[in-house]
């Protein structure tokens, strides 16, 4: 397939125009750790299922997290020829509330999927998410089993041997530089979207891991480790922490310029200068908070829904918050007489979360100005101050001795949970 720049530009503009006519915005979703967590246990499937049953056995069947087993075949290139591999058994856990999230937004958003996974796998996950749940909430009015994502709107690797690389909005709307003004991206990673400022970061969903199961039953976690060591598979568990969504005035990425592999599809004879991302370029230094002080998604679920294993199936407060934010952004965009870029609307809502918060950091934590705490505070509208600058909140850990009259001394989870749910939480439950 070979198209000119102008043909690509016209196709993209036509697609965006049809979305505007339907009063929809493009919503680009990642798959792994954003909507689902998938593990390929290979021959260890029965052992892993028995281990998971040890946590889920005390939960009524109707209240258990939705997990499914499925098989997928992959196409690889070997010596210049495509070779189809044997079907591989997988277990997939759906992020709690993901079906409601998708169904709740499909009237306002045109849903697209951009994954670094292989197309066969990504298409299988899309089919699972589009299908009726096993037990619809209302048997008389089940969710329609219609595709939420068409094959043309799935962007993934064609073969397992293809290099993953960074993600680019140029793949979605080729040769249209202002598509970022309309689109919203939801991903658990920001580092793969170099230079984009329209990425809404979600905390990685990693239910099928010993680290999560240890919260409920250490023996089950130990059994899962034994299963992994015996059969040699990966938990597909991300060990990275990437920066949060920035407002327009802050960028946490290196805006390095790399050749887009899509360029090989276009003629160079009719090339023109394009609009580029308006995300400013600043140093991308970023220091994650030590894992001992940083909560995970499972901690938010336990905080909101209680510490029992049933919280694994309770709606994810972060997805619920994103639904509210995305609905409001869409409605504001299409009712505004001269709508600003969508990233500006998102940034304004983010800055309102911690507006008025002056956050000081306990020196005992040893966090540099490049820490995740500093980035989150700035992205969501607060400011980081010194202890002698009348802070409203102090981030510290249990046993901290630094206090300021009138300031709430809280655990780091207060900041994270407030940003993840887009709502400033009360300090009482987080007091040090």
The pLDDT confidence band at residue 89, using thresholds 50, 70 and 90, is: confident
**CATH class label, 5-240+243-284:** alpha beta
CA torsion 104→107→109→113, rounded to 10°?
70
At 155 the three-state DSSP class reads strand
The pair of structure tokens assigned to 331 is 């409605």
**Cα separation, 308 vs 305, whole angstroms:** 8
Higher per-residue confidence, 248 vs 241: 241
pLDDT at 384: 96
- For residue 219, which of 41, 393, 52, 416 has the smallest C-alpha distance? 52
**Cα separation, 9 vs 3, whole angstroms:** 10
pTM for the model: 0.81
- 179 forms beta bridges with none
pLDDT at residue 162 is higher than 70: no
pLDDT at 8: 57
Among all chains, which residue has been given the structure tokens 């979207």? 193
| CATH no. of 286-315+354-432 | 3.40.50.10190
Sequence ranges of the chain with CATH classification 3.40.50.1000: 5-240+243-284
Q: Which of 135-139, 146-150, 371-375, 422-426 has the lowest mean pLDDT?
A: 135-139
pLDDT (mean) for 273-301? 60
The pLDDT confidence band at residue 79, using thresholds 50, 70 and 90, is: low
The pair of structure tokens assigned to 197 is 């400022």
pLDDT at 160: 58
- For residue 251, which of 212, 284, 295 has the smallest C-alpha distance? 284
**Cα separation, 236 vs 229, whole angstroms:** 14
pLDDT at 400: 76
Mean residue pLDDT of the chain comes to 78
Alpha helices by DSSP H, 214-341: 218-231, 297-305, 317-335
Phi then psi for residue 279, to 5 deg, are -65, 125
Q: Which of 131-135, 251-255, 346-350, 416-420 has the lowest mean pLDDT?
A: 251-255
Sequence ranges of the chain with CATH classification 3.40.50.10190: 286-315+354-432
At 102 the three-state DSSP class reads helix
pLDDT (mean) for 195-213? 87
């Amino acid at each position: 397939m070979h198209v000119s720049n102008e043909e690509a530009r016209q196709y993209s503009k036509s697609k965006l125009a049809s979305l505007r006519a339907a009063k929809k915005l493009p919503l680009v979703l990642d798959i792994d750790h954003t909507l689902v967590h998938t593990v390929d246990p290979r021959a260890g499937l029965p052992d892993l299922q028995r281990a998971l049953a040890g946590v889920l056995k005390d939960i009524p069947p109707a209240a258990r997290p939705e997990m499914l087993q499925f098989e997928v075949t992959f196409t690889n290139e070997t010596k210049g020829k495509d070779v189809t591999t044997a079907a591989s058994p997988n277990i997939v856990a759906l992020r709690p509330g993901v079906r409601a999230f998708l169904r709740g937004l499909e009237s306002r958003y045109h849903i697209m999927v951009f994954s670094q996974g292989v197309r066969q796998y990504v298409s299988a996950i899309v089919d699972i998410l589009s299908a009726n749940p096993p037990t619809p909430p209302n048997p008389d009015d089940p969710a329609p089993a219609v595709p939420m994502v068409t094959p043309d709107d799935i962007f993934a690797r064609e073969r397992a041997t293809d290099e993953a690389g960074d993600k680019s909005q140029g793949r979605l709307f080729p040769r249209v530089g202002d598509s970022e003004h309309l689109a919203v991206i939801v991903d658990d990673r920001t580092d793969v979207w170099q230079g984009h400022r329209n990425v809404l970061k979600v905390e990685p969903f990693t239910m099928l891991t010993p680290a999560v199961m240890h919260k409920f039953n250490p023996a089950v976690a130990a059994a899962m480790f034994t299963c992994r060591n015996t059969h040699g598979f990966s938990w597909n568990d991300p060990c990275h922490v990437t920066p949060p969504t920035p407002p327009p005035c802050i960028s946490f990425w290196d805006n390095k310029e790399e050749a887009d592999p899509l360029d090989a599809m276009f003629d160079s004879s009719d090339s023109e200068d394009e609009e580029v991302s308006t995300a400013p370029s600043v140093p991308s230094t970023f220091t994650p908070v030590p894992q001992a002080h940083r909560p995970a998604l499972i901690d938010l679920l336990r905080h909101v829904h209680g510490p029992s294993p049933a919280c694994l199936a309770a709606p994810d407060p972060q997805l619920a918050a994103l639904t509210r934010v995305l609905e409001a952004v869409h409605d504001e965009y299409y009712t505004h007489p001269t709508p600003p870029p969508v990233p500006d609307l998102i940034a304004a809502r983010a800055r309102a979360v911690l507006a008025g918060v002056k956050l000081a950091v306990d020196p005992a934590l040893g966090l540099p100005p490049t820490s995740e705490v500093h980035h989150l505070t700035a992205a969501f509208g607060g400011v980081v101050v010194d202890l002698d600058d009348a802070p409203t909140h102090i981030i510290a850990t249990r046993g901290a001795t630094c206090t300021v009259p009138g300031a709430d001394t809280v655990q780091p989870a207060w900041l994270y949970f407030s940003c993840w749910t887009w709502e400033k939480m009360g300090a009482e439950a987080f007091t040090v």
